[in-house]
Amino acid sequence: NAGVTQTPKFRVLKTGQSMTLLCAQDMNHEYMYWYRQDPGMGLRLIHYSVGEGTTAKGEVPDGYNVSRLKKQNFLLGLESAAPSQTSVYFCASSFIGTGELFFGEGSRLTVL
Amino acid sequence: GIQVEQSPPDLILQEGANSTLRCNFSDSVNNLQWFHQNPWGQLINLFYIPSGTKQNGRLSATTVATERYSLLYISSSQTTDSGVYFCAGGSTLGRLYFGRGTQLTVWP
């Protein structure tokens, strides 16, 4: 089993460009999450999903959109990238909302 | 949201030493987890421990839910234990709040 897989692993964007990060999990988990990690800040929740077709806002949702069209996939979109969105993005999944969290390897995004 | 304080922020040890990391929460949580982020950035789940005590090899964790804190014990530390240790807690389904982490460096 691959667990949680994120693509791409690295990306450089110019201000104003758009992109999508893809997260795929093969553990049949109901819950999926997108976090961002900035130096000295820990991880902050951007958006999450409690099941196929559902999404909800986390702590820092502004500037991001998400979709969960299939249970195994959770997409994070940046419509118009800004330098403040330079960060490492982590996807995670869990079987239930209070369950053990499993993380992907992270995607490093730089916005120039 | 729930505020999570971790201490100490930095810890430097020699191989073989023991250590205790602490996590305090501003409110009650029913979901509490500890993670290790290795020097390559990978996040590994160490413990799911909303209450009680668990042990896994040289690592153990204790959560006192009524007093809103959790402790992570590392015994006989090794260089491979280096990295950042995060605790995270939540009370609403799907929302987990992370602390800023404890940076652990273990020297040979």
Report how far residue B62's alpha carbon sits from residue B56's, in angstroms, rounded to the nearest whole number. Answer: 12
Q: How far apart are CA B86 and CA A47, in angstroms?
A: 20
Which residue among B42, B44, B93 sits closest to A97, beta carbon to beta carbon?
B93
Amino acid making up residue B57? G
Cα separation of A90 and A101, whole Å?
Answer: 12
Distance CA B60, CA A96 (A): 24
Which chain A residue shows the shortest CA-CA distance from B43?
A: A103
Average pLDDT for residues B1-8, to the nearest whole number? 94
Of A33, A88, A100, the CB nearest to B33: A100
Segment 57-76 of chain B within 8 Å of chain A by CB: none
Strands A73-78 and A10-13: what pairing?
A: unpaired
For residue range A52-62, list pLDDT tens digits in order. 999 999 999 99
Positions in chain A whose pLDDT score sits under 50: none
pLDDT in tens, B53-67: 999 999 999 999 999
Strand partners, B39: none
Mean pLDDT across B81-107: 91
- The reply to whether residue A90 touches residue B43, judged by beta carbons under 8 angstroms, is yes
d(CA B25, CA A19): 36
Q: Tell me what pLDDT residue B55 has.
A: 97
**pLDDT tens-place string over residues B20-54:** 999 999 999 989 999 999 999 999 999 999 999 99
Q: What are A's interface residues with B at a Cβ cutoff of 8 A? A: 31, 33, 35, 40-45, 48, 50, 56, 58-59, 88, 90, 96-103, 105-106
Whole-number pLDDT of residue B69: 97
Interatomic CA distance for residues B15 and B72, integer angstroms: 17
Estimate to the nearest angstrom the gap between the alpha carbon of B69 and the chain centroid: 11
**B88 pLDDT above the threshold of 90:** yes
Q: What per-residue confidence (pLDDT) applies to A98?
A: 67
Residue linked to tokens 């201490």: B7
User: At residue B83, does pLDDT exceed 90?
Assistant: yes
**Separation between Cα atoms, residue B54 and residue B62, nearest integer Å:** 7
Q: What angle do CA B108, B83, B81 make, to 5 degrees?
A: 50
Is the pLDDT higher at B1 or at A33? Answer: A33
- At residue A97, the pLDDT reads 65
Question: Residue B75: its pLDDT value, please?
Answer: 97
Q: Which residue of chain B is at minimal alpha-carbon distance from A100?
A: B48
Q: What rounded mean pLDDT belongs to chain B?
A: 94
